Amino acid sequence: MTAASRSPRRALRILWRIQRMALLALLAHKARSAFVIAAVAMGVAALTVIVASVDGARRKALEIVDFFGPDAVMVLGGDIENRPVGQRIYTLTWADARAVARSLPGAYAVLPMRSIRQITLKYDNRNHESPVVVGATENYARAWNWPLAEGRDLSEEDVARGAKVALIGDEPARQLFGDASPLGRTIMVKNLPVQIVGRLAYRGLSGGGSDVTIDDRIIMPISTLTQRFNLDRKYFRGLRIKFHDPDLIDTHKDNLRALLRHLHHLGPTDNDDFTIISASEILKFLTAFTGGLVAFLGITAGVAIVVGGFVLANLMFLSVSERKAEIGLRKAVGASGAALTAQFLSEALYLTLAGSLAGVALGVALGESLSRLGLLQLRLSPKVFVLSLAAAVVIALVFGLRPARKAAAMDPIEALRGGDD
Amino acid sequence: MNAPADAPAAPAASRARETLIELADVTRTYVMADTPHTVLAGVTLDIAAGEFAAIMGPSGSGKSTLLHILGLLDRPTSGSYRLGGRDTGKLDDDALSRLRNQAIGFVFQSFYLVPYATALDNVLLPGLYSDTPGAALRRRGEALLAQVGLSAQAGHKPSQLSGGQQQRVALARALVNDPDLILADEPTGQLDSATSAEIMGLLATVNREAGKTVIVVTHDQATAAYARRQILVHDGRIAKS
Ligand SMILES: Nc1ncnc2c1ncn2[C@@H]1O[C@H](COP(=O)(O)OP(=O)(O)OP(=O)(O)O)[C@@H](O)[C@H]1O
Ligand SMILES: [Mg+2]
């Protein structure tokens, strides 16, 4: 009874006492230890990047959906999904917009829009190249859930008059005005003098991995844009529609589709000549994209971690056969098989933990440079650390156990003699 | 022979007459390439607590094999081995580990110090697997290093020590758990005669003053002369004891 109650404490004390020796053994074989640490670090770095980038992608998807609004759809001219050859993308007309506004149940805002690029903005002697110049109807900021940092939204009157006014995004505002307020200033949009009436707040979404940010835009009344830049007067590119009830969005979409097919005189066998996008489509697309990323990075990280594990196992087998005399001696002086297993597993665990810390550091550095290059959006969380530590423990136990058991199973006489085992 | 079954730790004075080791008809057979090789062919031997014995004999006669069995590193193929009255044949591997740890100290021809550990850490090694509290263990290790004259070298690695110094560290290590039995297999085999004399002198002191039972396997007459009893092994049998 006393032996039974004493024995777990005894095992713990031995476990504690051999730790110093385990560390000394690792220090005595620095090159080998460094090699294992590096191999594990590679795997954990890959794991860090994958977890961070998946989190980043998910967060970005949610931001985009949030920005888009769960209560809104966007209609674009042309069938984006099937892209029939030669199909026109200018298929949405003012008449469509009016009909939708008048007869689509549940819709409270219908906002036609179009945009142009390759325009230069000028203020004083400063230039800003090719922002997106958006033509929109009134209440653009409100319709996009986009707070104004200062000034006012586009008004009904602006649109009716074709006023030469604009909302300015954060990026061109900083390029042209620095820290000064752009309100009331007149900038040149190509050759057109336009007064800034409002500044959109910083949004900070990057456009799907490119270096175009969503903040790089100015918004003018669609009437002004059409007239002054000689755009087609009948058609526009897109239509944003907001509904009262986000829960009914699927029904709203069906109604909208039926209405547009009717307005465009499409027969039952004709394809849509427009595309309706809602938050769920965006989410679906982003999830598919993220899924591909997860699969690719997941396989990479898995392979890297298994490689790290094999390096650990091999170098531990090497260590066990090199340290036969030590193992035999330890057994001779009374180390049990369990104590030897524990020592070699401890050594393995120190190496994988060091590798895991180095790997997280490496992964963070790698992730930072990847997101700086705009290749990936990363989000580091405590989860990364927890996962890396778990990976370290799993690698040590899975790949370290066989060499450790081999050490424990050695016959002390054979081991001391240095013979084979 | 008549020692009580559980009395390994009796006072030194009475222990001197008790039987520590009882081998009865012990054989050890190796099977190599389907052919059995009998290395020990029926050894019956008693060694009393406090004895200093030398095991001698020609090369290949089975001296080391016998010592490994005495040290619980190997098991007899047949026959029985009682240590301190306990039948060791009934013990499992973990119990044998504990018994080696508590009751037996080893000294080997090639020292077998752990190369990356200091002299003191090497001395403490068997203590790591014992119940001795850390501080007491460390004090004991330092005292033993002083006893073998190596206090100044406590922090040295084995590679910084001479052969004789390494064997003295090994001897201190053999004593750290205060075992009753010290087994040495050719402890002077790699040492010159002066250094051999030092080591054998230390073993004699351990036997005489601490009352430890010491058994030394050796080829060397001068080494064997330190022992009060000579056991001659020939062809796996005791030729003379
Ligand atoms: N594991 C083993 N497998 C097969 N044969 C063995 C094994 N161990 C020892 N032997 C054989 O047993 C015999 C006795 O060996 P042992 O080492 O006991 O002799 P020894 O008396 O110590 O010799 P030496 O004086 O050379 O050390 C030898 O013939 C040896 O080859
Ligand atoms: Mg021998």
Interface mutation vs chain B, best among A32, A333, A411, A420, most B CBs within 10 Å: A333
For B106, the closest of A28, A332, A338 (CB atoms) is A332
State the pLDDT at residue A376: 66
- Give the ligand with the smallest distance to the CA of B31: 1
Span B37-43, average pLDDT: 95
Among protein residues, the one with the nearest Cα to ligand 1's atom 26 is B59
Q: At A415, phi and psi to the nearest 5?
A: -65, -40
Q: Do A332 and B100 touch (CB under 8 A)?
A: yes
B170/B198 Cα distance (integer angstroms):
13
Q: Is the ipTM of this complex over 0.90?
A: yes
State the pLDDT at residue A6: 56
Q: Do A21 and B126 touch (CB under 8 A)?
A: no
- Using only C-alpha atoms, what is the Rg of chain A? 33
pLDDT band at A267 (very low <50, low <70, confident <90, very high): confident
Q: Do B117 and A331 touch (CB under 8 A)?
A: no
A279 and A70 in contact (C-beta within 8 Å)?
Answer: yes
Give the position of tokens 């190997």. B74
A62/B187 Cα distance (integer angstroms):
75
Chain B, window 11-70: residues with a beta carbon less than 8 angstroms from a chain A beta carbon = 68
What is the 3 state secondary structure string of A338-369? HHHHHHHHHHHHHHHHHHHHHHHHHHHHHHHH
Strands (E), B49-188: 52-56, 78-83, 86-87, 104-108, 181-185
| Residues A285-340 pLDDT 10s | 777 777 777 788 788 888 988 999 999 999 999 999 999 999 999 999 999 999 99
Question: Pairing mode, if any, of strands A165-168 and A192-200?
Answer: parallel
pLDDT band at A211 (very low <50, low <70, confident <90, very high): low
pLDDT band at A1 (very low <50, low <70, confident <90, very high): very low
Contacts of A271 (CB under 8 A, 6+ apart): A79, A82, A84
| Residues B63-107 pLDDT 10s | 999 999 999 999 999 999 999 999 999 999 999 999 999 999 999
pLDDT band at B14 (very low <50, low <70, confident <90, very high): very low
A374/A207 Cα distance (integer angstroms):
10
For B128, the closest of A14, A25, A332 (CB atoms) is A14
Judge if the beta carbon of residue B61 lies within 6 A of ligand 1. yes
Letter string b/e over residues A137-174, b meaning 16 or more CB atoms within 10 A of that residue's CB? bbbbbebbebebeebebbbeebbeebbbbbbbbbbbbb
Does the model's pTM come out above 0.80?
no
B158 and B169 in contact (C-beta within 8 Å)?
Answer: yes
A329/A403 Cα distance (integer angstroms):
18
